[in-house]
Amino acid sequence: MPEQPMPGRGAPDIRAGDVLPALEIPITRTLIVAGALASRDYQDVHHDAELAREKGSPDIFMNILTTNGLVGRYLTDHFGPTAVLQKLAIRLGAPNYPGDTMTLTGTIAEVGTAGTTAQVRVRIVGTNALGNHVTGTATVGLPPAGRAAASRAYRSHVSPEGTV
């Protein structure tokens, strides 16, 4: 995908290097357990603190599927309801434990098109008190109807210098 503004009438001025606004997510015991149950991940390290400690962890910790969902939410909240997550590749690092906060940030890596759909590749990082919890990339498709919504979101969140 070439690095250029998204083409097309009414398309937002999304450019490589633009920074998405940060999203802070409090990591609660309820979020960890609910995410594990919702994704049918019944491993005890995600819901039983005593058994997690027996296995060497200081507490329960978030599973990758919950992290995956939160990264998806971060992107679709930013790009709007017509955004389509076409590809998501993440890697976990430091665990998310209860009582911490994960801060998700994103940077536009590339902008291009596939037919009438704008494709935006975003580098994502989610940090907590221990370091990087998640790193990765995502490709988000913006159909022509979704470009106007994305443009409004951009105008309200990104300064002319590409900063929040």
- Report the CATH number that the domain containing residue 135 is assigned in CATH: 3.10.129.10
When divided into structural domains, the chain yields a total of 1
Residue 57 has pLDDT above 90, yes or no: yes
- Does a structural domain hold residue 164? no
Residue 152 has pLDDT above 70, yes or no: no
Average pLDDT estimate for 22-45: 96
- Does a structural domain hold residue 8? no
User: For the segment 98-118, what is each residue's pLDDT rounded down to a tens digit?
Assistant: 999 999 999 999 999 888 889
Domain extent at residue 145: 19-157
Cα 13 from Cα 139, distance rounded (Å): 17
- Does a structural domain hold residue 35? yes
- Lowest mean pLDDT across 6-20, 58-72, 111-125, 130-144: 6-20
What is the torsion angle, in degrees rounded to the nearest 10, for the CA atoms of residue 163, residue 22, residue 137 and residue 78?
-90
- Does a structural domain hold residue 71? yes
Average pLDDT estimate for 52-70: 97
- Does a structural domain hold residue 73? yes
Residue 53 has pLDDT above 70, yes or no: yes
Q: What is the pTM of this model?
A: 0.81
- Does a structural domain hold residue 12? no
What is the torsion angle, in degrees rounded to the nearest 10, for the CA atoms of residue 31, residue 123, residue 78 and residue 129?
40
Percent helix, strand, coil in the chain, to 5, is 30, 35, 35
What's the confidence (pLDDT) of residue 12? 57
End-to-end CA distance of the chain: 24
